[in-house]
Amino acid sequence: MDIFVCSDCGNETTKWSGRCPSCGAWNTMRDAGRIIGKGKKRKSAASASVTEAEPFAAADGEMKPRARSGIGELDTVLGGGVVPGMAVLVGGEPGIGKSTLMLQMASRLASAKQPALYVSGEESAQQIRLRGLRLGIETEELFLLCSGNLQHVEQEIARLRPGLLVIDSIQAMQNPDVESAPGSMSQMRECTARLVRLAKDNDLPTFLVGHVTKEGMVAGPRIVEHMVDTVLYFEGEGHLKILRAQKNRFGSTNEIGVFEMRADGLHEIADPSGIFLHGLDHAPGVAVGGMMEGSRAFLVEVQSLVTPASYGTPQRVSIGYDPKRLSVALAVLEKFLAINLRQHDVFLNLAGGLRTRDPALDLAVAAAVVSGFRDKPLPRGTVLLGELGLGGEVRPVSQAARRVNEAAKLGFKRVLLSPRAKASADKLEIVAVEHLSGLFAAIDSGVQR
Ligand code: TYD
Ligand code: MG
């Protein structure tokens, strides 16, 4: 049976059509030929996997020792280092720094006993070497294979017995047994399955790079996400990059890693305190809040733009903050501060490319919108911490002490907080706000004192 693959989204059908039924693109369906050898392989794999069940208590529950990559931020996000046999997907938009991070990691983990194998199906050895020079990589134990052919990869694993494998990228890999284009669903499914199996059989930690567009992954490697142990996403704005685990069978998905891209590669920012602040806090429409990512607290500038709406339905746009929480905050503002936003567009942004689901930013969001609406800046040096309830009540936030400490450390003068939150500080003033209706009185009272 012939199959047809959309070159845009990777959708596969058995019938040709002028328009892809999945993504709607025109003239993108290509004949990918016949799939051969698939049935046969399935059978042998099934018969090989017959084993006996073992008692729960006898199962080996011990974790194999992790290898530290020497890049602390990466180790933290992985849950404490690289686990033998783990399969990791590293996703991110083109140009974000995936290849750079992988090369830096591979060069550090490579050792005489266990070399690292870096497979690139996208760049030439010369390009990668040039990048390596920029990064100051000089190790002899790092091997480059510039091929998209899965069989070449398997041969080199058997020959070199590496202690780490990087595939850059999974979209460039091809199993010649499957007659469809690299990047198509069937190739990615097939290549990922083989590589994950290899990883497990050889205790070989394997990192698969996957390209993501703004709308999601090219050719939908959601399947890849399901097949690997850990999914990391690399994202960010400008020089600052954030590494985040979206799924992790070997650790939590709480922690983030912060990096800065410089001329000589990615540098970790082990103390990202204040790095997301841009000194905007005296502009109208800006309020400073505190958010937690794993065990670290960050202060963040919430920016809002409130302008008269030019069309019937006003726009609500939120970047980095849950749009539903913004809607709730606006409704609560209308009800308890009698601010009518029905004729206004509201745009909200967390400065520095941050993104969070932490409800502790609610109070800062509300204050930013009011400040934007009135075109009046909030007093300098103020941090707002609080979750908003539907009744307009300000709820205490988790780990308030950490957030307050961060504010004190960065020289802020006052923190607004629910009276039920447990936090104190020597260097700054803590102002209690119980209800949204008292927010501006609290802000002003703090200033006068
Ligand atoms: P790259 O790792 O190639 O991104 P990806 O593999 O995710 O597509 O890096 C992309 C950008 O990083 C590129 O625009 C150049 C920049 N860069 C630096 O600024 N400094 C460096 O040392 C390197 C290697 C890259
Ligand atoms: Mg790359």
pTM: predicted TM-score of the whole model, two decimal places: 0.79
Which ligand 1 atom sits closest to the C-alpha of 98?
7
Percentage of the chain lying above the pLDDT 90 cut: 62
**In this model, does residue 218 exceed pLDDT 90?**
no
Q: Among 89, 166, 237, 261, which residue has the most ligand 1 atoms within 8 Å of its CB, making it the best to mutate?
A: 261
Please write the tens of the pLDDT for every residue from 384-443: 999 999 999 999 999 999 999 999 999 999 999 999 988 888 889 999 999 999 998 888
Distance 134 CA to ligand 2 centre (A): 15
Residues in the chain: 449
Percentage of the chain lying above the pLDDT 70 cut: 91
Name the residues around ion ligand 2, CB cutoff 5 A: 99
Q: How far apart are CA 449 and CA 435, in angstroms?
A: 21
Residue 50's pLDDT band, with cuts at 50, 70 and 90, is low
Please write the tens of the pLDDT for every residue from 129-169: 999 999 999 888 999 999 999 999 999 999 999 999 999 99
Burial of 10 from C-beta contacts in 10 A (0-12 / 13-18 / 19+): buried
Q: How far apart are CA 211 and CA 147, in angstroms?
A: 17
Rounded to the nearest 5 degrees, what angle is found at the Cα of 300, between the Cα atoms of 239 and 246? Answer: 70
Q: Which of 49-53, 59-63, 229-233, 311-315 has the highest mean pLDDT?
A: 229-233
**What is the spatial order of strands in the sheet that 12-13 belongs to?**
12-13, 2-6, 29-34
**In this model, does residue 21 exceed pLDDT 70?**
yes
Pocket of ligand 1 (CB under 6 A): 92, 94-100, 131, 134-135, 261, 263-265
Residue 205's pLDDT band, with cuts at 50, 70 and 90, is very high
Among protein residues, the one with the nearest Cα to ligand 1's atom 8 is 95
Phi, psi for residue 427 in degrees, rounded to 5: -85, -10
Mean pLDDT, the chain, as a whole number? Answer: 88
Q: Identify the residue whose tokens are 């990918």.
A: 32
pLDDT at 191: 94
Distance 100 CA to ligand 2 centre (A): 7
Task: Identify the weakest region by mean pLDDT among 101-110, 152-161, 176-185, 379-388.
Answer: 176-185
Question: What is the DSSP-derived secondary structure letter of residue 169?
Answer: -
Distance 121 CA to ligand 1 centre (A): 17
pLDDT at 120: 96
